[in-house]
A = this chain, B = another copy of it.
Amino acid sequence: MPATDASLMPPPSRTMNFNAGPAALPLAVLEACRDELVDFGNTGMSIMEHSHRGAAYEAVHHDAIARLRSLMSIPDGTGTGGYDILFMQGGASQQFAQVAMNLLSPGASAGYIVSGVWGEKAVSEARAVASQSGATVHVACTTASSTPGAPSEASLNPGRWGGDAKYVRVPDAEEVALAPTDAYVHLTTNETIDGVQYATAPGAIFPSFGTVPVVGDMSSDIAWRPIDVRQFGLIYAGAQKNLGPSGVTVVIIRRDLVEAGRTDIPVIFQYRTASRNTSLYNTPPTFSIYLMRQVLAWIGNLGGLEAVEARNRAKASAIYRVIDAFPEFYRCPVAVDSRSMMNIVFRLPTPALEEAFVASSEAHGMVGLRGHRSVGGIRASLYNAVEPAWADALAQLMHDTATRHA
């Protein structure tokens, strides 16, 4: 357990923010943004007032791309050996449709792996696209609790801990049934509502499926640690969890897939449009990109993704350690090797105790700990900008609460 140590506490004016997204941003980034908000770089204008065709903004824009490429070691070759970094709008929810619009030609199919609520949504939107384009979308694997798989721990104690959770694990590659026509296989690397994440062990890799490109919704765990991007054909992520504010979506796409994308959909939805125009085809969300650039610089200053990984693991360990130390009081329904490092979901024995815990957390200067309304319970989101001291303070509160009820 962390000691009660005043040095771990944030300055009293700062709220400990465990929101699931939009989420905490680095204080240093916010302060720097404030200081230049009215006058960016002595131009006599805010960054928001600069033209996206002007030198001041373009330098920010291209630097954001370069920093993301460097941090994530994104290959810059041609064809299958390189990836474009695109800044789009509409969040992951729009990418659910846009991926299928680009990559599903008539007669083609795609397989979806569903390990949580966001995976369900991705399938549903891709199906709407496929039905209009003469393509097919199928669920290649689901870990929903009605299918074979490990029983959730909560099912051992029905009536406590809020009953069964629907999704409690990620599947192995062998459980996934692709079709020969599949143009890609889609998975959600981290499920924010269910607290289920792929490849969390140190150095773990993602499931692979021969030459079929993997499309990953990485909205809630992009850049939480170094990964080999070449395991994916396409990665997309709303920025508002690990990279910045809401309003910008990052797409990292292998260059052969850009070129293979459909040409008969509206230009605005084609990845090649953003690719050929360096995401400056139309007016981008300039402020969101500016702030994301600042967050990327902050990650670099921390020491890059290796340092971020250590920081994130320490935060998650502090919470899971308390959960495991009090098995009669806290229960995380997720299989141990699928436990998310980003969104830790857990239950207390009764809804009343959960309500009391949320109230207590707020009294201690914490926000965002109520679980998603569709599943209840508690959820602590520990994205990159969440301070380790906040996780320690939460662990301490959990420890004290459990001890009081022992």
Contacts and interface: CB of A to CB of B under 8 A. Distances in A.
Interface in A269-305: 269, 281-288, 291
Given A39-B13, A51-B368, A132-B132, A281 B25 contact: no
A393 to B, nearest CB: 14
B283 A238 contact: yes
Interface stretch (A15-23, A108-116, A321-329): A15-23
Contacts of A91: 89, 282-283
A74 to B, nearest CB: 24
A90 B266 contact: no
A105 interface: no
A52 interface: yes
Interface stretch (A27-35, A138-146, A171-179, A193-201): A27-35
B246 A284 contact: yes
A157 interface: no
B90 A90 contact: yes
Interface stretch (A42-50, A161-169, A204-212, A222-230): A42-50
Interface stretch (A76-84, A121-129, A181-189, A251-259): A121-129
A23 B91 CA distance: 24
Contacts of A367: 45, 54
A25 B37 contact: no
Contacts of A92: 282
A245 interface: yes
A287 B288 contact: yes
Given A265-B132, A365-B44, A90 B89 contact: yes
Nearest to A19: B51
B38 A97 contact: no
Contacts of A21: 51, 283
A368 B44 CA distance: 13
Count of chain copies: 2
Nearest to A42: B13
A283 B246 contact: yes
A151 B404 CA distance: 86
A48 B238 contact: no
Given A97-B268, A286-B246, A48 B22 contact: yes
A33 B35 CA distance: 11
Nearest to A368: B51
A367 B56 CA distance: 12
Nearest to A45: B15
A247 interface: yes
B46 A37 contact: no
B30 A38 contact: yes
A322 to B, nearest CB: 24
A24 interface: yes
Q: Considering residues A89, A265, A267, which has the most beta carbons from chain B within 10 angstroms of its beta carbon? A: A89
Contact of A129 (B22, B43, B266): B266
A90 B268 contact: yes
Interface of A: 13-15, 17, 19-25, 27, 30-31, 33-34, 37-39, 43-46, 48-52, 54, 57, 89-94, 96-97, 124-125, 128-129, 131-133, 238, 240, 245-248, 264-269, 281-288, 291, 365, 367-368
7 closest Cβ contacts across the A-B interface?
A247-B285, A15-B44, A97-B266, A89-B89, A93-B282, A34-B37, A48-B245
17 contacts: A14-B45, A20-B51, A22-B51, A27-B38, A30-B48, A33-B37, A48-B245, A48-B291, A54-B367, A89-B90, A90-B94, A93-B268, A96-B266, A97-B269, A128-B266, A246-B286, A285-B285
Given A93-B281, A247-B288, 4 more contacts: A125-B268, A128-B266, A129-B266, A247-B286
